[in-house]
Structure 1
Amino acid sequence: MAYSQLAIVGGTVVNDDWSGPASVFVQGRRIARLAAATDPVPEGIPVIDASGRLVLPGGVDPHTHIQMSLGDYTTRDGYREATTAAVWGGTTTVVDFAIPRPGERPLDAVRQRQAAATEGVCDAALHACVVEWDDTVPEQLRQIAALGIRTVKLFTTYRDVVMADPATVVNVMRTLQELGGMAYVHAESNHLIEHDQQRAVERGQIDAAGHASSRSELAEVTAVREVLSAARSLGAPVYFVHQSTPAAIDEVRRARSEGVRAYTETCPHYLALDDQHYAGDSPELFVCCPPLRSPATVSDVVARALAGDVDTIGSDHCCYDRTQKWTDRSDVRVMPNGLPGVETRLPVIFTELVQRRGMPVERFVAITSANPARLNGIYPQKGVIAPGSDADLILIDPTERRTVSATDLHMATDYSPYEGRELAGWASTVIVGGTVVLDDGVFADNPLPGRALVSQPLP
């Protein structure tokens, strides 16, 4: 329901740098002011009673793949489906990737994706993507920046599909420096992966059950070191997506201590799932890149998240269904890689890090909302409850727990890797741009359309 004014009272407001009892007043699409919990609400303003609940800035998911086509497979969701699922899970801003199709220019891929963003029910930012460098790319990147996109995805793997060679990586990073931008890097060493995969073929273990050994931890940390060397030499910032190993995270931490502006993202599945799932009845449902790691590695990644060495947690949402995952399960080199997770991102993180291991809820807000907004150039429009910021708010009852069932979720797939798990951290009320879109299990019939966000130069 849309109101011209709204007050959220009785709850505990949480930002990444403070929390406490307060009232939040909304005017139109924005937060008008915060007030002491004891201050009266002016007559005539609708009130949401948040007693017993946490009032958080809406989640910002820095890593989603919506209607993505790679190889022979396309994910099942468009912007409407993906953002609806996101809102049900407490995420009110998604950041998608404009990955060029073969022969398509990065600039054209960006324009197409920005137009699609208005089909969603929450706002969307965007990462561009460069696969191959040529003389036209600098001007394309300048035009992309003028469209409000400052981050560019680079893959160091997937030869002949989206892989950028080392020279392209360096050239993009250098050009982005001039534009106030930053490279977002999928860092796995391709020659090591191809070696791992050839050995898996020789062992007869290139199927989904053998996925863990087809992309080694060494491949990840080697690529991270190489990209960090370039960033250090150029003085350029760099962000590593979906880091799954403690060694890779440690490399980023060391580089940052030396003055490199380097950032780590991990994902819920690298904190809550492990490679034992590849020994189960449906290993194909857990095939993602990088693979799920050993229980010991998962424990070490969790420890680094708790220690503050992880900057953001993105879902890496890839909404394939069971049939797609099943069809080519005999060869992980061609089957679709990725897990659906935009809806379960916040509950998995809240359960694993806040409830089970005592992470302060302020830190939870930092890694799920404030930091993703900062590192995408959309803070303080997003990621904080403050006057002038967008009125994207979620209310969470920390005592409420729900058991995950794919039939109860809203992603355009028929499975969840967290099926049967009991999770906390579900949003009971979600406000997007001042409009109550979700409340007590009821989703608004006609929410406002999402907007394509304009990113500011990164510091």
Structure 2
Amino acid sequence: MTWFDTVVRGATVVAGGAARRLDLGIRDGRYAAVLEPDAPADAEHVVDAGGLVATPGAIDTHTHIDWPYDGTRTVDGPLGASRAALLGGTTTVVDFVPPAEPGRSLVDACHERVDALGEAIAVDFALHPILLDASTAVLGELPHVVADGFTSFKMYTTYEDRRVDDGAAWQLMRAIARLGALPGFHAENHELLTATLGEQERLGRLAAGDYPASRPALAEAEAIGMVSLYARRIGTPVYIFHVSGAEALGAVEAARRAGSVVHAETCTHYLVHDDSVFSGADPWRFVISPPIRSAADRERLWEGLRTGSVTTVGSDHCAYESGRKAAHSDDHRHVPAGAPGIEARTLLLWSEGLHRHGVSLPEFVAANSERAAAVLGLTAKGRIAVGADADLVLWDPALRWRGADLPPSSPETFSLYDRCDGTGRPRHVFLRGTAVVRDGALTDEAPRGRFVHRQPRSPR
């Protein structure tokens, strides 16, 4: 009889594009066997998962944990944010390396970020370094950064202090492609945003409720078209962060039809909310970049998620202190753009997707785990298969929850989802074979998150 550390019995397992009742054998932190129900097997731990649904550990492709801004940092820290992630079934996050200060080594910045997060993080993590320019120093360091396991990058086409111009974008994309790594963009046309904001300033329409008009969807679509064209000419895929609605997703799809390989990430807030939140209470909470758009935009994103046109879903978790956001509610130019949401992401994808938007279990797993792992080079993650890391979520599909009862990752921050409720919640969560959530509560396991060293694709 085969021996395992853990055997999971009787779950409906979602794997390989199907959902069926199977047993799972886990040994040394990895899946060692996918078994027919009740197959003979011995184990130190046996988990009765009858009535539960087994999915791979979720991958949040977009977080800003313990993030520096305006001389301070976000308020939840690595431990608070990652424990909240585990309660929602997220076992891997992809965070960012803040831009290196002038004169500071990019390689050093990357490793300092690994050390800072790795001291007390409860989930596994990878990192997208942020690049601000195509200087000789940056281009010279990129091969070392990629060799050290950082194989996806973020650049901005807007924000005066962060944006790369078209020439730098071209140079950086070529250099990244040569290394077999993945360029990614916060894509909005800077000049159009500047002009639109100028109009708002002249009209005196600067309150938090006026925010969406300052960042029109056209700016997003135009920038997506530009970087997608560059990607096609260079012969590299490109990753678009936080696609917010129909016009941006349409630009992605048009680029694909023209021959570009474009991966489109959307975020929870675009799938759950619409721009009516800016007419409600505390609109400062919803100041996020790009803005939350219309109900029609939201439905278009759900359609894209079902069809696979939307590749991945991130939380864009950024736990700003409530008072700092609320203090500038009369002038959105000074409201930090971002919001927490690391736990709610998976709960809402399950509840809204399966119960209200026709998402199947395999489509849920594809968007929540499988495609993120494939696109971002997380080769041991995102799937239930022999040899993969045993990151496992056992969902209770009947368990109800209320957004108001979800504890924030820090008492100093706020929630966008306190008025949401749903059905379906993780009952048990495993990270590399170890139970980290049992019966909906965190276990006493010490934080055991690791940096995921990724390998590049074949260089071009």
TM range (shorter): over 0.9
Tell me what 1:321 maps to.
321
Residue 4 of structure 2 contacts residue 41 of structure 2 at CA under 8 Å; is this kept in 1?
no
**Residues 363 and 453 of structure 1: CA distance in aligned 2, closer, same or farther (over 3 Å):** same
Tell me what 1:232 maps to.
232
Tell me what 2:81 maps to.
82
Residues 1:352 and 2:352 aligned together: yes
Tell me what 2:384 maps to.
385
CA distance in structure 2 between the partners assigned to 1:89 and 1:82 by the alignment: 11
Q: TM-score, normalised by structure 2?
A: 0.95
Q: How does 1:287-306 map to 2 (within 5 A)?
A: 287-306=287-306
CA distance in structure 2 between the partners assigned to 1:138 and 1:117 by the alignment: 25
CA shift for structure 1 position 419: 0.6
Residues 68-103 of structure 1: CA deviation (Å, up to 9, x unaligned) = 123355311222121111101100001000021542
Residues 54-77 of structure 1: CA deviation (Å, up to 9, x unaligned) = 001000111111111233553112
> 3-state DSSP class of the match of 1:359?
coil
Tell me what 2:138 maps to.
137
More divergent stretch after superposition (322-331 vs 165-174): 322-331
CA distance in structure 1 between the partners assigned to 2:444 and 2:192 by the alignment: 50
CA distance in structure 1 between the partners assigned to 2:251 and 2:276 by the alignment: 26
Tell me what 1:68 maps to.
67
More divergent stretch after superposition (177-186 vs 250-259): 250-259
CA shift for structure 1 position 415: 2.0
Residues 409-448 of structure 1: CA deviation (Å, up to 9, x unaligned) = 4456442111121123321101011110111133122335
**Residues 172 and 389 of structure 1: CA distance in aligned 2, closer, same or farther (over 3 Å):** same
Tell me what 1:49 maps to.
48
> 3-state DSSP class of the match of 1:95?
strand
> 3-state DSSP class of the match of 2:418?
coil
Q: How does 1:258-407 map to 2 (within 5 A)?
A: 258-379=258-379, 381-405=380-404
CA distance in structure 1 between the partners assigned to 2:361 and 2:409 by the alignment: 26
> 3-state DSSP class of the match of 2:315?
coil
Residue 87 of structure 2 contacts residue 441 of structure 2 at CA under 8 Å; is this kept in 1?
no
Residues 1:163 and 2:169 aligned together: no
Residues 1:121 and 2:125 aligned together: no
**Residues 223 and 16 of structure 1: CA distance in aligned 2, closer, same or farther (over 3 Å):** farther
Residues 170-220 of structure 1: CA deviation (Å, up to 9, x unaligned) = 111101111111111100111111111111111211121111101111111
More divergent stretch after superposition (108-117 vs 207-216): 108-117
Q: How does 1:31-42 map to 2 (within 5 A)?
A: 31-42=31-42
CA distance in structure 1 between the partners assigned to 2:13 and 2:410 by the alignment: 29
CA distance in structure 1 between the partners assigned to 2:405 and 2:69 by the alignment: 24
**Residues 77 and 448 of structure 1: CA distance in aligned 2, closer, same or farther (over 3 Å):** closer
> How many residues are treated as equivalent by the alignment?
454
CA shift for structure 1 position 289: 0.3
More divergent stretch after superposition (74-83 vs 170-179): 74-83
Tell me what 1:443 maps to.
442
CA distance in structure 2 between the partners assigned to 1:168 and 1:107 by the alignment: 19
CA distance in structure 2 between the partners assigned to 1:213 and 1:61 by the alignment: 28
Residues 246-295 of structure 1: CA deviation (Å, up to 9, x unaligned) = 12212222322333221111011111101111111200011100011122
> 3-state DSSP class of the match of 2:24?
strand
> 3-state DSSP class of the match of 1:375?
helix
More divergent stretch after superposition (368-377 vs 95-104): 95-104
Residues 332-376 of structure 1: CA deviation (Å, up to 9, x unaligned) = 222210111111111111122211122111111111111111111
More divergent stretch after superposition (279-288 vs 67-76): 67-76
Residue 60 of structure 2 contacts residue 93 of structure 2 at CA under 8 Å; is this kept in 1?
yes
**Residues 306 and 294 of structure 1: CA distance in aligned 2, closer, same or farther (over 3 Å):** same
Counterpart residue identity of residue 447, structure 1: A
Residue 346 of structure 1 contacts residue 425 of structure 1 at CA under 8 Å; is this kept in 2?
no
**Residues 411 and 342 of structure 1: CA distance in aligned 2, closer, same or farther (over 3 Å):** farther
**Residues 299 and 358 of structure 1: CA distance in aligned 2, closer, same or farther (over 3 Å):** closer
CA shift for structure 1 position 155: 0.7
CA distance in structure 2 between the partners assigned to 1:133 and 1:105 by the alignment: 14
More divergent stretch after superposition (149-158 vs 225-234): 225-234
Residue 407 of structure 1 contacts residue 414 of structure 1 at CA under 8 Å; is this kept in 2?
no
CA shift for structure 1 position 237: 1.1
More divergent stretch after superposition (353-362 vs 294-303): 294-303
CA distance in structure 1 between the partners assigned to 2:419 and 2:210 by the alignment: 24
**Residues 421 and 360 of structure 1: CA distance in aligned 2, closer, same or farther (over 3 Å):** same
More divergent stretch after superposition (348-357 vs 299-308): 299-308
Counterpart residue identity of residue 149, structure 1: F
Counterpart residue identity of residue 240, structure 1: I
Residue 437 of structure 1 contacts residue 447 of structure 1 at CA under 8 Å; is this kept in 2?
no
Residues 110-167 of structure 1: CA deviation (Å, up to 9, x unaligned) = 111111232211110010111012111122111111110110100111112x211111
Tell me what 1:421 maps to.
420
Counterpart residue identity of residue 127, structure 1: H
Residue 99 of structure 1 contacts residue 106 of structure 1 at CA under 8 Å; is this kept in 2?
no
> 3-state DSSP class of the match of 2:397?
coil
Q: Structure 1 runs of 4+ off > 4 angstroms?
A: none
Unaligned runs of 5+ in 1: none
More divergent stretch after superposition (248-257 vs 215-224): 248-257
More divergent stretch after superposition (443-452 vs 88-97): 443-452
Q: How does 1:144-223 map to 2 (within 5 A)?
A: 144-160=145-161, 162-223=162-223
Tell me what 1:11 maps to.
11
Q: TM-score, normalised by structure 1?
A: 0.95
After superposition, the CA RMSD in angstroms is: 1.7
CA distance in structure 2 between the partners assigned to 1:259 and 1:226 by the alignment: 13
Residue 186 of structure 1 contacts residue 240 of structure 1 at CA under 8 Å; is this kept in 2?
yes
**Residues 413 and 345 of structure 1: CA distance in aligned 2, closer, same or farther (over 3 Å):** farther
Residue 71 of structure 1 contacts residue 334 of structure 1 at CA under 8 Å; is this kept in 2?
no
Residue 76 of structure 2 contacts residue 409 of structure 2 at CA under 8 Å; is this kept in 1?
no
